[in-house]
Protein backbone atom coordinates (compact mmCIF):
# COMPACT_ATOMS: atom_id res chain seq x y z
CA UNK A 1 0.00 0.00 0.00
CA UNK A 2 1.23 3.51 -0.77
CA UNK A 3 0.06 6.28 1.55
CA UNK A 4 0.11 9.99 0.73
CA UNK A 5 0.18 11.81 4.07
CA UNK A 6 -0.32 15.57 4.08
CA UNK A 7 0.62 17.23 7.36
CA UNK A 8 3.04 14.37 8.00
CA UNK A 9 5.28 16.60 10.11
CA UNK A 10 2.56 17.35 12.65
CA UNK A 11 1.87 15.60 15.94
CA UNK A 12 -0.38 12.79 14.68
CA UNK A 13 1.31 12.58 11.27
CA UNK A 14 4.85 12.11 12.56
CA UNK A 15 3.81 9.46 15.12
CA UNK A 16 1.87 7.63 12.42
CA UNK A 17 4.85 7.68 10.01
CA UNK A 18 6.95 6.00 12.69
CA UNK A 19 4.36 3.31 13.36
CA UNK A 20 3.74 2.58 9.68
CA UNK A 21 7.46 2.27 8.91
CA UNK A 22 8.10 0.09 11.98
CA UNK A 23 5.16 -2.27 11.70
CA UNK A 24 4.22 -2.62 8.01
CA UNK A 25 5.72 -2.80 4.53
CA UNK A 26 3.66 0.20 3.35
CA UNK A 27 5.28 3.09 1.50
CA UNK A 28 4.73 6.69 2.65
CA UNK A 29 4.93 9.87 0.64
CA UNK A 30 5.03 12.67 3.21
CA UNK A 31 4.14 16.31 2.63
CA UNK A 32 4.42 19.20 5.08
CA UNK A 33 5.46 22.84 5.31
CA UNK A 34 7.66 21.89 8.27
CA UNK A 35 9.56 18.63 7.90
CA UNK A 36 11.85 18.87 10.97
CA UNK A 37 10.22 15.93 12.73
CA UNK A 38 10.50 13.80 9.59
CA UNK A 39 14.27 14.09 9.16
CA UNK A 40 14.90 10.94 11.19
CA UNK A 41 13.00 8.84 8.62
CA UNK A 42 14.85 10.04 5.53
CA UNK A 43 17.15 6.98 5.31
CA UNK A 44 14.18 4.63 4.99
CA UNK A 45 13.64 3.39 1.41
CA UNK A 46 9.87 3.28 1.87
CA UNK A 47 9.74 6.94 2.89
CA UNK A 48 9.84 10.04 0.69
CA UNK A 49 9.32 13.58 1.89
CA UNK A 50 8.41 16.86 0.19
CA UNK A 51 8.56 20.20 1.97
CA UNK A 52 5.88 22.51 0.63
CA UNK A 53 2.84 24.67 1.25
CA UNK A 54 -0.56 23.03 0.69
CA UNK A 55 -1.91 26.39 -0.58
CA UNK A 56 0.65 26.48 -3.43
CA UNK A 57 1.79 22.98 -4.34
CA UNK A 58 -1.41 21.88 -6.06
CA UNK A 59 0.32 20.13 -8.99
CA UNK A 60 2.59 18.13 -6.72
CA UNK A 61 -0.33 17.14 -4.52
CA UNK A 62 -2.34 16.05 -7.57
CA UNK A 63 0.55 13.86 -8.83
CA UNK A 64 0.92 12.20 -5.46
CA UNK A 65 -2.80 11.53 -5.13
CA UNK A 66 -2.89 10.05 -8.63
CA UNK A 67 -0.09 7.62 -7.76
CA UNK A 68 -1.02 6.47 -4.23
CA UNK A 69 -3.62 4.07 -2.76
CA UNK A 70 -4.84 6.03 0.24
CA UNK A 71 -4.76 9.73 1.10
CA UNK A 72 -4.49 11.07 4.65
CA UNK A 73 -5.17 14.85 4.63
CA UNK A 74 -3.87 15.66 8.13
CA UNK A 75 -2.72 19.23 7.43
CA UNK A 76 -4.61 21.66 9.64
CA UNK A 77 -4.71 24.09 12.51
CA UNK A 78 -5.68 22.29 15.73
CA UNK A 79 -5.03 24.74 18.58
CA UNK A 80 -7.93 26.72 20.09
CA UNK A 81 -5.78 29.84 20.52
CA UNK A 82 -5.37 29.97 16.72
CA UNK A 83 -9.10 29.53 16.05
CA UNK A 84 -9.53 32.81 17.94
CA UNK A 85 -6.58 34.79 16.58
CA UNK A 86 -6.62 33.45 13.00
CA UNK A 87 -10.17 32.29 12.24
CA UNK A 88 -9.94 32.82 8.48
CA UNK A 89 -6.68 30.94 8.21
CA UNK A 90 -8.31 28.12 10.20
CA UNK A 91 -11.18 28.03 7.68
CA UNK A 92 -8.95 28.34 4.61
CA UNK A 93 -6.59 25.58 5.69
CA UNK A 94 -8.86 23.20 7.56
CA UNK A 95 -11.79 23.53 5.16
CA UNK A 96 -10.84 24.99 1.77
CA UNK A 97 -7.46 23.32 1.27
CA UNK A 98 -8.69 19.99 2.53
CA UNK A 99 -11.77 20.20 0.29
CA UNK A 100 -9.36 20.64 -2.63
CA UNK A 101 -7.59 17.44 -1.58
CA UNK A 102 -10.85 15.53 -1.07
CA UNK A 103 -12.04 16.52 -4.56
CA UNK A 104 -8.80 15.18 -6.03
CA UNK A 105 -9.39 11.90 -4.17
CA UNK A 106 -12.80 11.74 -5.83
CA UNK A 107 -11.36 12.51 -9.26
CA UNK A 108 -8.62 9.85 -9.01
CA UNK A 109 -10.88 7.38 -7.12
CA UNK A 110 -8.62 7.20 -4.08
CA UNK A 111 -9.56 6.17 -0.59
CA UNK A 112 -9.45 9.05 1.91
CA UNK A 113 -9.07 8.78 5.70
CA UNK A 114 -9.98 12.17 7.08
CA UNK A 115 -9.38 13.58 10.59
CA UNK A 116 -12.60 15.03 11.88
CA UNK A 117 -12.43 16.12 15.53
CA UNK A 118 -14.06 15.68 18.91
CA UNK A 119 -14.69 19.44 18.66
CA UNK A 120 -17.57 18.78 16.23
CA UNK A 121 -19.74 17.70 19.19
CA UNK A 122 -19.23 21.21 20.54
CA UNK A 123 -21.64 22.02 23.34
CA UNK A 124 -23.64 18.77 23.00
CA UNK A 125 -24.94 18.05 26.45
CA UNK A 126 -24.62 14.27 26.26
CA UNK A 127 -23.11 11.94 28.81
CA UNK A 128 -21.51 9.90 26.07
CA UNK A 129 -20.89 11.02 22.50
CA UNK A 130 -22.07 8.71 19.72
CA UNK A 131 -20.78 9.15 16.17
CA UNK A 132 -24.06 8.54 14.37
CA UNK A 133 -26.55 9.90 16.91
CA UNK A 134 -25.24 12.77 19.02
CA UNK A 135 -26.18 16.30 17.93
CA UNK A 136 -23.39 18.65 16.89
CA UNK A 137 -23.98 21.91 18.75
CA UNK A 138 -21.99 25.10 18.45
CA UNK A 139 -22.33 28.60 19.91
CA UNK A 140 -23.07 31.98 18.32
CA UNK A 141 -21.07 33.24 15.35
CA UNK A 142 -19.19 35.75 17.51
CA UNK A 143 -17.73 32.83 19.45
CA UNK A 144 -14.89 32.18 16.99
CA UNK A 145 -13.81 29.04 18.81
CA UNK A 146 -16.37 27.14 16.75
CA UNK A 147 -14.99 28.03 13.31
CA UNK A 148 -12.71 24.99 13.52
CA UNK A 149 -15.55 22.73 14.61
CA UNK A 150 -17.80 24.03 11.79
CA UNK A 151 -15.04 23.67 9.18
CA UNK A 152 -14.44 20.07 10.18
CA UNK A 153 -18.15 19.31 10.47
CA UNK A 154 -18.82 20.68 6.99
CA UNK A 155 -16.08 18.51 5.53
CA UNK A 156 -17.48 15.48 7.38
CA UNK A 157 -20.79 16.19 5.65
CA UNK A 158 -19.26 16.85 2.22
CA UNK A 159 -17.14 13.68 2.35
CA UNK A 160 -20.17 11.64 3.45
CA UNK A 161 -22.21 13.12 0.59
CA UNK A 162 -19.42 12.35 -1.93
CA UNK A 163 -19.53 8.80 -0.60
CA UNK A 164 -23.28 8.53 -1.06
CA UNK A 165 -23.60 10.32 -4.41
CA UNK A 166 -20.28 9.58 -6.11
CA UNK A 167 -18.94 6.44 -4.44
CA UNK A 168 -15.96 8.07 -2.70
CA UNK A 169 -14.27 5.49 -0.45
CA UNK A 170 -13.74 7.17 2.93
CA UNK A 171 -13.36 6.88 6.68
CA UNK A 172 -13.75 9.76 9.16
CA UNK A 173 -12.11 9.59 12.58
CA UNK A 174 -12.47 11.88 15.59
CA UNK A 175 -9.49 12.13 17.93
CA UNK A 176 -10.33 12.96 21.55
CA UNK A 177 -7.48 14.94 23.12
CA UNK A 178 -4.59 12.81 21.90
CA UNK A 179 -1.50 13.59 23.92
CA UNK A 180 2.17 12.65 23.84
CA UNK A 181 5.62 13.93 22.91
CA UNK A 182 5.59 16.70 20.32
CA UNK A 183 1.97 17.80 20.73
CA UNK A 184 2.87 21.50 20.66
CA UNK A 185 6.11 23.42 20.72
CA UNK A 186 7.48 25.19 23.76
CA UNK A 187 7.41 28.38 21.66
CA UNK A 188 3.62 27.98 21.40
CA UNK A 189 3.49 27.54 25.16
CA UNK A 190 5.65 30.62 25.68
CA UNK A 191 3.00 32.59 23.79
CA UNK A 192 0.11 30.97 25.75
CA UNK A 193 -1.06 29.17 22.61
CA UNK A 194 -0.34 25.52 23.42
CA UNK A 195 -2.90 22.91 24.39
CA UNK A 196 -3.34 22.17 28.07
CA UNK A 197 -0.73 19.48 28.73
CA UNK A 198 2.11 21.29 26.93
CA UNK A 199 1.03 24.61 28.39
CA UNK A 200 1.04 23.23 31.93
CA UNK A 201 4.49 21.61 31.60
CA UNK A 202 5.89 24.90 30.30
CA UNK A 203 4.12 26.94 32.98
CA UNK A 204 5.50 24.73 35.76
CA UNK A 205 9.04 25.06 34.42
CA UNK A 206 9.02 28.75 33.45
CA UNK A 207 6.22 30.61 35.23
CA UNK A 208 5.61 28.92 38.56
CA UNK A 209 1.89 29.24 37.96
CA UNK A 210 -0.74 27.21 36.09
CA UNK A 211 -3.77 29.20 35.04
CA UNK A 212 -6.95 27.13 35.14
CA UNK A 213 -9.48 28.64 32.78
CA UNK A 214 -12.80 28.99 34.62
CA UNK A 215 -11.36 27.00 37.54
CA UNK A 216 -10.50 23.87 35.52
CA UNK A 217 -13.72 21.90 36.06
CA UNK A 218 -14.13 21.17 32.35
CA UNK A 219 -13.45 17.53 31.50
CA UNK A 220 -11.71 15.80 28.61
CA UNK A 221 -10.96 12.16 27.71
CA UNK A 222 -7.20 12.09 27.22
CA UNK A 223 -5.80 9.55 24.79
CA UNK A 224 -2.20 8.39 24.48
CA UNK A 225 -0.89 9.02 20.96
CA UNK A 226 0.32 5.40 20.69
CA UNK A 227 -3.20 4.12 21.36
CA UNK A 228 -4.55 6.61 18.84
CA UNK A 229 -2.17 5.56 16.08
CA UNK A 230 -2.97 1.88 16.80
CA UNK A 231 -6.59 2.71 15.93
CA UNK A 232 -5.44 4.43 12.73
CA UNK A 233 -3.50 1.31 11.75
CA UNK A 234 -6.70 -0.75 12.02
CA UNK A 235 -8.51 1.81 9.87
CA UNK A 236 -5.70 1.73 7.30
CA UNK A 237 -5.75 -2.08 7.19
CA UNK A 238 -9.53 -1.90 6.73
CA UNK A 239 -10.16 -5.62 7.23
CA UNK A 240 -13.16 -6.70 5.11
CA UNK A 241 -13.90 -3.03 4.37
CA UNK A 242 -15.20 -2.55 7.95
CA UNK A 243 -13.91 1.04 8.08
CA UNK A 244 -15.51 2.12 4.81
CA UNK A 245 -18.18 4.88 5.00
CA UNK A 246 -17.81 5.04 8.79
CA UNK A 247 -17.11 7.67 11.43
CA UNK A 248 -15.08 6.53 14.44
CA UNK A 249 -14.51 8.28 17.76
CA UNK A 250 -10.96 7.55 18.87
CA UNK A 251 -10.62 8.44 22.51
CA UNK A 252 -10.17 6.86 25.91
CA UNK A 253 -13.34 7.21 28.04
CA UNK A 254 -11.49 5.71 31.04
CA UNK A 255 -9.21 8.76 31.01
CA UNK A 256 -12.01 11.28 31.54
CA UNK A 257 -10.52 13.86 33.92
CA UNK A 258 -11.05 17.51 34.75
CA UNK A 259 -8.42 20.02 33.64
CA UNK A 260 -7.62 20.66 37.31
CA UNK A 261 -7.00 16.92 37.78
CA UNK A 262 -4.79 16.93 34.68
CA UNK A 263 -2.72 19.75 36.21
CA UNK A 264 -2.45 17.86 39.52
CA UNK A 265 -1.31 14.66 37.79
CA UNK A 266 1.33 16.55 35.79
CA UNK A 267 2.65 18.24 38.95
CA UNK A 268 2.70 14.94 40.80
CA UNK A 269 4.54 13.12 38.02
CA UNK A 270 7.07 15.93 37.59
CA UNK A 271 8.08 15.52 41.21
CA UNK A 272 9.67 12.18 40.33
CA UNK A 273 12.05 13.76 37.79
CA UNK A 274 15.08 15.23 39.64
CA UNK A 275 15.37 18.16 37.18
CA UNK A 276 11.68 19.06 37.51
CA UNK A 277 11.02 18.31 41.19
CA UNK A 278 11.77 21.67 42.74
CA UNK A 279 9.66 23.62 40.26
CA UNK A 280 6.79 21.13 40.53
CA UNK A 281 6.79 21.50 44.33
CA UNK A 282 6.58 25.30 44.08
CA UNK A 283 3.98 25.77 41.33
CA UNK A 284 0.67 27.48 42.18
CA UNK A 285 -2.71 26.73 40.63
CA UNK A 286 -4.74 29.87 39.97
CA UNK A 287 -8.07 30.57 38.28
CA UNK A 288 -8.53 32.88 35.31
CA UNK A 289 -11.66 33.79 33.38
CA UNK A 290 -11.96 32.55 29.77
CA UNK A 291 -12.18 36.19 28.56
CA UNK A 292 -8.93 37.09 30.24
CA UNK A 293 -7.03 33.96 29.18
CA UNK A 294 -8.24 33.73 25.58
CA UNK A 295 -10.69 36.48 24.56
CA UNK A 296 -14.40 37.26 24.43
CA UNK A 297 -14.76 34.99 21.41
CA UNK A 298 -13.78 31.88 23.40
CA UNK A 299 -16.38 29.33 24.38
CA UNK A 300 -15.86 25.93 25.95
CA UNK A 301 -17.10 22.39 26.22
CA UNK A 302 -17.67 21.26 29.79
CA UNK A 303 -17.31 17.55 29.11
CA UNK A 304 -16.35 15.27 26.26
CA UNK A 305 -16.55 11.50 26.61
CA UNK A 306 -16.61 9.27 23.53
CA UNK A 307 -18.50 6.11 22.89
CA UNK A 308 -15.88 3.81 21.37
CA UNK A 309 -18.08 0.79 20.65
CA UNK A 310 -17.64 1.24 16.90
CA UNK A 311 -13.83 1.37 16.81
CA UNK A 312 -13.68 -1.48 19.36
CA UNK A 313 -15.38 -3.68 16.78
CA UNK A 314 -12.27 -3.23 14.63
CA UNK A 315 -10.25 -4.75 17.50
CA UNK A 316 -9.09 -1.57 19.29
CA UNK A 317 -8.92 -1.13 23.03
CA UNK A 318 -6.99 1.84 24.46
CA UNK A 319 -4.89 0.72 27.42
CA UNK A 320 -2.70 3.69 28.47
CA UNK A 321 -3.74 5.54 31.62
CA UNK A 322 -3.50 9.33 31.79
CA UNK A 323 -0.77 9.05 34.41
CA UNK A 324 1.33 6.78 32.18
CA UNK A 325 0.74 9.06 29.18
CA UNK A 326 1.87 12.09 31.21
CA UNK A 327 4.95 10.23 32.45
CA UNK A 328 5.96 9.14 28.94
CA UNK A 329 5.46 12.68 27.64
CA UNK A 330 7.61 14.08 30.46
CA UNK A 331 10.33 11.52 29.73
CA UNK A 332 10.49 12.81 26.15
CA UNK A 333 10.80 16.44 27.34
CA UNK A 334 13.36 15.41 29.92
CA UNK A 335 15.58 13.89 27.24
Binding residues for ligand UGA, rule: CB under 6 A, are: 78, 80, 117-119, 175-177, 195-196, 199, 211-213, 216, 218, 220, 259, 300
CB closer to ligand UGA, 110 vs 211:
211
CA 118 from centre of chain: 9
CB of residue 196 vs ligand UGA: minimum separation in angstroms?
A: 3
> Does an H or E element contain 281, and which?
helix 274-282
Smaller CB distance to ligand UGA: residue 51 or 323? 323
Q: Given the complex with ligand UGA, which of 143 and 195 has the nearer CB atom?
A: 195
CB of 168 to ligand UGA, least distance (A): 23
Please list the alpha-helical segments (H only) found in 24-121: 58-66, 80-85, 87-90, 98-107
Least distance from ligand UGA to the Cβ atom of residue 78, Å: 4
- The HSE-up count of residue 230 (CA atoms within 13 Å, CB side) is 16
Least distance in Å: CB of 243 to ligand UGA? 20
Q: How far is the CB of 100 from ligand UGA (least distance, A)?
A: 21
Q: How many whole angstroms separate alpha carbon 308 and alpha carbon 22?
A: 26
The answer to whether residues 98 and 76 touch, using CB atoms and an 8 Å cutoff, is yes
As measured in angstroms, the least distance from the Cβ of 47 to ligand UGA is 26
219-221 and 256-258 beta bridge pairing = antiparallel
Residue placing its CB nearer to ligand UGA in the complex, 57 or 300 = 300
**52/214 with CB nearer ligand UGA:** 214
Q: Which is nearer to ligand UGA, 151 or 199 (CB)?
A: 199
Taking the C-alpha atoms of residue 175 and residue 189, their distance in angstroms, rounded to an integer, is: 21
Cβ-count burial of 124 within 10 angstroms (0-12 exposed, 13-18 middle, 19+ buried)? middle
126/303 Cα distance (integer angstroms): 9
Amino acid sequence: MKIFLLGAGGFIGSHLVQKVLESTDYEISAFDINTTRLEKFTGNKRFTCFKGDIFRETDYIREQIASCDVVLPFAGVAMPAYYLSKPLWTFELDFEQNLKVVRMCLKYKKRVVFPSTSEVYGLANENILLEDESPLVTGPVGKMRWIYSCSKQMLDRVITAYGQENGLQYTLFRPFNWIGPGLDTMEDARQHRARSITQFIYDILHRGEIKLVGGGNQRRSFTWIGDGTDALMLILKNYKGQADSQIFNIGNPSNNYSIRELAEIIIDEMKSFPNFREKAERVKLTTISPENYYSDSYDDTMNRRPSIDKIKRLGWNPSTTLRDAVRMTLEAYHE
